[in-house]
Amino acid sequence: MGLFGSFLSKFSRNKATTEDLAEFRKVLIESDIGPRFTEELVGLVEREKSEVLSEQLTSHILASLSDAKRDLSKAEGRLTTILVVGVNGTGKTTTVAKLAKLLKKEGNKVILAAADTFRAAAVEQLSTWGARIEVPVVLGKVNGDPASVAFDAATRAKSEGFDYLIIDTAGRLHTKNNLMEELGKVRRVVEKVSPIDEVLFVLDGTTGQNGITQAKSFAEAVTLTGIVVTKLDGSTKGGIALATERELKVPIKLVGTGEGENDLGLFEPTAYIAELLTQP
């Protein structure tokens, strides 16, 4: 059952009482959808006739989402490069692997770059994934220069005619400034070889409102082209995804729903909202 499900079925039978509305507000706040969005939805429930509530909520949420296109960019006749960024532990490395699997399944030649050289385990984690999904991984030395790994990977990807290069990056360095400078450098160096077509920001769907703050600081360092929301499996939260998209005007493109290699799908707003509104 979706987040609003039990309320919707109650509200569509009777006019919402003050207590119902207070509880609805609480559930919305706890879902991390954000205070402003919460008040809009509560107001709508208060105002609208119960019979049309479901449609009204759907169209209000839809209208507040980005109308930018949600498909991943695909360059014509050259390498497509995807840079994956985000705070540590949000699911970047796992997303890189899942995305590689998805693109490979569609018949593309995919290569990965382990540009998180900050932790030994990170390089190992991506090479294990690469072996599992049978995709080559360009590795760097631990504590080596991430930009140089990315550069090597781009050079190889281009000369060997790969369709996609996906670059995994660190979520943490000594300081936040280091991290942002490093990302900027990775970007500049790769673009000497081939353009970067997508910069995906990985957002943990279970994080609170500071997910937006995180996204904003990454957006200052590199222009984000899409959001991947992870860990939506079994979460009653996930409202942060909608709040972040609304705040940053960057479209959610992919959704992670588990730790397995196939647990990644395209974000479909209508299906996502229908899920939120599912009635018991």
Ligand X SMILES: Nc1nc2c(ncn2[C@@H]2O[C@H](COP(=O)(O)OP(=O)(O)OP(=O)(O)O)[C@@H](O)[C@H]2O)c(=O)[nH]1
Positions touching Mg ion (CB under 5 A) are: 92-93, 122
Beta strands in 116-270 (DSSP E): 137-139, 164-169, 198-204, 226-230, 252-256, 264-266
- Whether 225 and 75 have beta carbons less than 8 Å apart is answered as no
C-beta of 116 vs 245, nearer to ligand X: 116
Q: How far is the CB of 272 from Mg ion (least distance, A)?
A: 26
C-beta of 89 vs 208, nearer to ligand X: 89
Partner from Mg ion, ligand X, none contacting 268, C-beta within 5 to 8 A by type = none
Partner from Mg ion, ligand X, none contacting 230, C-beta within 5 to 8 A by type = ligand X
Q: How far is the CB of 170 from Mg ion (least distance, A)?
A: 7
Q: How far is the CB of 116 from Mg ion (least distance, A)?
A: 5
Q: How far is the CB of 226 from Mg ion (least distance, A)?
A: 18
C-beta of 79 vs 116, nearer to ligand X: 116
Element (H, E) at 83: strand 80-85
The tokens for 88 are 């540590």
Question: Which residue, among 254, 246, 191, has the nearest Cα to 216 in the 3D structure?
Answer: 246
C-beta of 154 vs 170, nearer to ligand X: 170
Site of interaction with ligand X (CB under 6 A): 86, 88-94, 116, 122, 171, 230-231, 233, 256-259, 263
C-beta of 41 vs 115, nearer to Mg ion: 115
- Whether 24 and 45 have beta carbons less than 8 Å apart is answered as yes
C-beta of 231 vs 253, nearer to ligand X: 231
Partner from Mg ion, ligand X, none contacting 130, C-beta within 5 to 8 A by type = none
Position of minimal CB gap to ligand X: 171
Q: How far is the CB of 20 from Mg ion (least distance, A)?
A: 43
Query: In angstroms, rounded to a whole number, what is the distance separating the alpha carbons of residues 154 and 150?
Result: 6
Helices (H), 74-175: 92-105, 120-133, 146-159
Three-state DSSP class for 256? strand
Non-local CB neighbours of 263 within 8 Å, separated by 6+ positions: 98, 233, 256, 257
Position of minimal CB gap to Mg ion: 93
Chain mean position to CA 103: 17
Q: How far is the CB of 265 from Mg ion (least distance, A)?
A: 21
- Whether 168 and 93 have beta carbons less than 8 Å apart is answered as yes
The tokens for 192 are 């000497």
Partner from Mg ion, ligand X, none contacting 89, C-beta within 5 to 8 A by type = ligand X
